[in-house]
């Protein structure tokens, strides 16, 4: 005597399997964030303010590099004037390239490619919270402290590099 399985349990198993597959794929099908979602996150995380704060630091490094170039060479008045024009043009180019107007669309595009709507909303909620605001308030001091430590660690390395460079420069030529 052959027993046949009822069709209903088989149908339920198939439905359960299909449901499990759909749920497993759900993260891949997550809704992308909207521009409004990303703008909320960028506002909450003070992204524009961070860029605006970073620009003068970049300009200061650039100015230091130009001063080093001028100090390493004996520039006449005309060359100093040309160097000044190049520095001004470089500063203007930097300000345009790193303006929030130029960077915001890039941020929106990258956030859309990287994060789901759920991710963006969760980050925005965090940055809008007291803990998120505290993190944002303290991050500049943290970064400054990190830079001090990194510079201190790099100085011995640069000193060794300087010795190696001097040894190479002062080494007699081999013929």
Tens-digit pLDDT profile for residues 29-63: 578 999 999 999 999 999 999 898 888 888 888 88
Burial class (CB in 10 A: 0-12, 13-18, 19+), 104: middle
Confidence check: pLDDT of 22 > 60: yes
The C-alpha atoms of residue 112 and residue 173 are separated, in whole angstroms, by 58
Residue 1 confidence (pLDDT): 54
Question: Is residue 108 within 8 Å of 35, Cβ to Cβ?
Answer: yes
Question: Is residue 12 within 8 Å of 68, Cβ to Cβ?
Answer: no
What's the pTM?
0.65
The C-alpha atoms of residue 137 and residue 124 are separated, in whole angstroms, by 16
Question: Is residue 102 within 8 Å of 33, Cβ to Cβ?
Answer: no
Backbone φ and ψ for 10, nearest 5 degrees, come out as -65, -40
Residue 156 confidence (pLDDT): 87
Question: Is residue 136 within 8 Å of 45, Cβ to Cβ?
Answer: yes
Residue 120 confidence (pLDDT): 97
């Amino acid at each position: 005597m052959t027993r046949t399985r009822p069709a209903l349990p088989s149908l339920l198993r198939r439905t359960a399997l299909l449901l499990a597959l759909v749920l497993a794929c759900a993260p891949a099908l997550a809704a992308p964030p909207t521009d409004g979602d990303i703008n909320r996150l960028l506002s909450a995380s003070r992204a524009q303010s961070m860029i605006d704060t970073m620009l003068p630091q970049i300009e200061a490094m650039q100015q230091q590099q130009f001063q080093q170039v001028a100090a390493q060479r004996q520039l006449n008045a005309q060359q100093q004037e040309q160097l000044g024009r190049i520095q001004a043009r470089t500063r203007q180019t930097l300000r345009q390239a790193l303006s929030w107007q130029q960077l915001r669309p890039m941020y929106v595009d990258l956030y859309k490619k990287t994060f789901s709507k759920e991710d963006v909303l969760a980050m925005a909620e965090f940055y809008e919270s007291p803990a998120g605001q505290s993190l944002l308030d303290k991050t500049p001091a943290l970064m400054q402290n990190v830079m001090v430590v990194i510079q201190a660690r790099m100085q011995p390395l640069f000193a060794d590099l300087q010795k190696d460079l001097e040894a190479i420069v002062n080494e007699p030529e081999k013929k």
